[in-house]
């Protein structure tokens, strides 16, 4: 789960040839303190990069007017190691913004750029993941997804029995009696798995022997 120590937001935002998505995200984040935006484009050739630079110059002027600092970084398609390049950008940004939540806003730009940063986020250390969330907006339709990276890593780490328990709780089997009847697990095993899931922050206790899925999983599970 995202650390409670964070003081503001530093955004790493992918960029194509328009600024609308970033402007829209900032509008939705009103009330939260966005201190800086690291804008990342994909370098494929000189001509397309010049277009990205022009787009960034327009965005930078807008951000300056909003009191938000920014800089432009690039992932170079010709250098290879795209995920490594993305991890390096994330690492530098985290080092510069030691108290901020890092939001990876993966909406603008080509799909390979978005996938590169998504993959980079899921291959970070668990400690770093505590400060990162991923946000994605629909392109041409009103939809969005925001999820903590640490939640994705925890979900990927649990065993099949724990996953089934989580699925049953999500589907309404939210007390020990119903879970035992549905899963056929020994009582001791069920209680141990429930405690593990609770310790991981995936479920919360709402009564004696009753649980619900943690709200942080609403969009991903």
* 137-173 per-residue burial string, b: 16 or more CB within 10 A, e: under 16: beeeeeeeeebbbbbbbbbeebeeebebbbeebeeeb
The pLDDT > 90 percentage for the chain reads 67
Pair (56, 30) in one structural domain:
yes
Q: Would you state the pLDDT for residue 2?
A: 47
C-alpha closest to that of 109 among 27, 51, 28, 149: 51
Q: Are residues 132 and 178 in the same domain?
A: no
Summarised one tens digit per residue, pLDDT across range 35-69 is 999 999 999 999 999 999 999 999 999 999 999 99
Instruction: Catalogue the E-assigned strands of 17-150.
Output: 34-43, 69-76, 101-105, 132-137, 144-148
Q: Is the pLDDT of residue 5 over 80?
A: no
Indicate whether 4 pLDDT > 80.
no
Query: pLDDT tens, 128-150?
Result: 888 999 999 998 888 898 988 88
Q: How many domains does the chain have?
A: 2
| Residue 3 in domain | no
| CATH number of the domain enclosing 167 | 1.10.10.10
d(CA 205, CA 190) in angstroms, rounded, equals 14
Say if residue 133 is in the same domain as residue 207: no
Among the candidates 129, 153, 177, a domain finishes at: 153
Q: Provide the domain limits for residue 164.
A: 158-215
pTM: 0.85
Question: Is residue 165 in a domain?
Answer: yes
Q: In terms of domains, do 86 and 37 share one?
A: yes
């Amino acid at each position: 789960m995202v650390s409670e120590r964070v003081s503001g937001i530093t955004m790493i935002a992918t960029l194509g040839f328009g600024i609308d998505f970033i402007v829209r995200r900032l509008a939705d984040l009103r009330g939260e303190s966005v201190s800086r935006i690291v804008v990342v484009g994909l370098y494929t050739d000189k001509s397309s990069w010049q277009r990205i630079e022009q787009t960034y110059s327009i965005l930078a002027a807008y951000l300056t007017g909003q009191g938000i600092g920014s800089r432009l970084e690039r992932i170079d398609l010709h250098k290879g190691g795209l995920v490594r390049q993305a991890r390096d950008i994330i690492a530098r940004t985290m080092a510069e913004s030691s108290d901020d939540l890092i939001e990876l806003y993966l909406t603008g730009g080509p799909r390979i750029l978005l996938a590169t940063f998504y993959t980079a986020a899921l291959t970070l250390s668990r400690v770093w993941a505590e400060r990162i969330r991923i946000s994605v907006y629909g392109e041409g339709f009103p939809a969005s997804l925001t999820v903590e990276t640490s939640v994705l890593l925890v979900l990927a780490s649990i065993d099949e029995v724990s996953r089934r328990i989580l699925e049953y709780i999500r589907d309404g089997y939210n007390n020990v009696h119903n879970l035992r009847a549905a899963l056929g697990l020994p009582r001791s095993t069920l209680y141990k798995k429930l405690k593990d899931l609770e310790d991981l922050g995936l479920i919360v206790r709402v009564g004696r022997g009753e649980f619900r899925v943690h709200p942080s999983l609403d969009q991903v599970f």
